[in-house]
Amino acid sequence: DGKDATNPLSYLILRAAEVCPTPHHTITMRVHEGTPSELLQAGLRLARTGLGMPAFVSDEANIRFLQAQGIDTATARDYNMAGSQSVTITGRSRLVASPMFVVPRVLGLAIHGGAEGFGPRTPGLAECADFETVFEAFRTQLGQMLELQAEFNNVTIRSIGRRYPRPFDSVLMADGLELGVDVFRRTLPYDNSNFVNLIGVVNAADALMAIKRLVFEERSVSAERLVEALEHNWDGQGDEELRERFLAAPKFGNDDDEVDGLVAAIYAFAAEQIIRYGNATGGRCLPSALTIGTSPWPGGVVSGATADGRRREEPLAEESMTPMRGRERGTPWDVIASALKVAQDPYQSTELDIRFTREALASPEAMANLEDLVRTYLGRGGKHIQINVADLDELRRASEDPEGHADVTVRLGGTTAYVAQLSPAMREEILARHYFEAMPAR
C-alpha cells in the first residue's frame, strides 16, 4: 500500500549482523521519505563497525525506474536487490548477461583514431583541432562498442537458453507451470536479461577534462606528447612531471560543474544508446552502472594508462558514482553534489561509496549529519549509497599480516570481503583510498 513497512524484524536483522559480523549475506536497506530515523540510525551504526553494510537504496528512485519499464505500482513496490545491487522483482525478472563494459578502453580507441578492423575510423587526438571533435570521436566509438556489447549479450542469452535449461527455476517464475517455457526462453514482466554495466566512466571523464584543459585550453601540452606519455605508461623521460599536471586537473567528486558535466554527459549518451537495442528474450537492453567486486583491476589493465594520470596497473574508480581514489579534495557533501548532477533514473542500478575513518563518526552530531547526507542523496535522485568505515591502523596491520587479522572486513563493490582473502594489490588499493576524517553539517 506504499506505507512504511519497518517492523521488529528490521532491527533484529541489523542487531544480528552486529553481534555476528560476516560478509554474507549482503544486507540492503530500502530508504524512503518516511523511513524512521531510529531505523536509519541503526543501519548507520552497523556500517560504523566497518562491516560495510547495510547499503542504502532509494525506494522512490527504484520504483520510479520500474514504473518506467511498464511495471505497475503495486508490483514495483515489491522490488528487491539481486547480485551486488541489481534491482529485480522476485519471480518476474532474471539476470543473465551483465558484463563489465570498460569505458576508458573506448576512450583509448578514440585517442588513437579507432583500431583497424575494430570500430569506426575517427580522428585521432593529434588530428583534432578542438575538444568538441575529440568528444564527438569518443561518442562515435562508444556508440559502436555499446551496440556490439548488446549483441554479444544476446548471443550469450541465446546460448544459455539452448544449452543450459533451468526447469526448477522456470517453475518458480510467474505463470511458470502454466506456460511450460524455460526461464531463459520467455519474456518476463520485467525483462532484464540483458544489461550493460558501465565501469570507469569517472576515469574517462577525468581524462577528457584534463585533455580539454591542458591540450586545448592552455595548449601547454601537445597531443603527440600526451599520447607518447600514455604509451609509455607515464614512465618515460619527463613523464612524472607531466603526469602531476594531468593529476592536478579538475576531478569528479569535488562539485566542479565542468568535469561533473562530462560524467553526466557520458552516462546520458550511453543510456540513450543502450535502450535502443532489444534483448534475446523479448525485452529491451537496459543500462546499468554496477562496478562488481574486482572488475576495476582488469578494467584498468585493458584500458592502459589514461589521461587522468592513472597508470596501467592502477585499478579504475571503484563505483559508478564514486570519485577515483584519492581525488576527493572537499567534503562528503561535495561528493554527493557531483553524483547528483548525473541523471540516474535511466539506470537499473548505480553505486556510490563514501569512506570515513572510525573517528570521523564517533560523535552523535557526526551520525546525525551522516543521516542527513544519506537522506539528501537518496531523496534528490541518488539510487544507492554505502558507507565504508575503517580503523586505518587496523587496516594497515591487516594488510601487513592478513592471517593475524582474519576478521577484518572491507566493502568491495556491492559486497563485503575479508581483507585476508584479498590479493596484495587489492589490499594496497584499499589503503590508497581517501577516508574522510570528519562528517560536517551541510
> 426 pLDDT exceeds 90?
no
185, containing H or E segment: none
SS3 271: helix
**Which carries the bigger pLDDT value, residue 260 or residue 115?**
260
> 359 pLDDT exceeds 90?
yes
What are the tens digits of pLDDT across the range 372-421?
999 999 999 999 999 999 999 998 999 899 889 988 888 887 788 898 99
Mean pLDDT score, 190-205: 94
- Written as one letter, the residue type at 354 is I
> 95 pLDDT exceeds 90?
no
Confidence at residue 255, expressed as pLDDT on a 0 to 100 scale: 98
Structure letter (DSSP) for residue 51: I
What are the tens digits of pLDDT across the range 280-327?
988 899 999 988 778 899 999 999 999 999 999 999 998 999 999 999
With bands split at pLDDT 50, 70 and 90, how would you rate the model's confidence at 117? low
> 347 pLDDT exceeds 80?
yes
DSSP string covering 135-184, please?
A: HHHHHHHHHHHHHHHHHHHHHHHHHHHHH---HHHHHHSTTHHHH---GG
9, containing H or E segment: helix 8-19
Mean pLDDT score, 96-103: 89
Could you give the C-alpha distances from 167 to 96, 170, 177, 182, 185, in angstroms and in order? 15, 5, 10, 6, 11
Confidence at residue 345, expressed as pLDDT on a 0 to 100 scale: 97
- Written as one letter, the residue type at 78 is D
Neighbours of 363 (CB within 10 A): 12
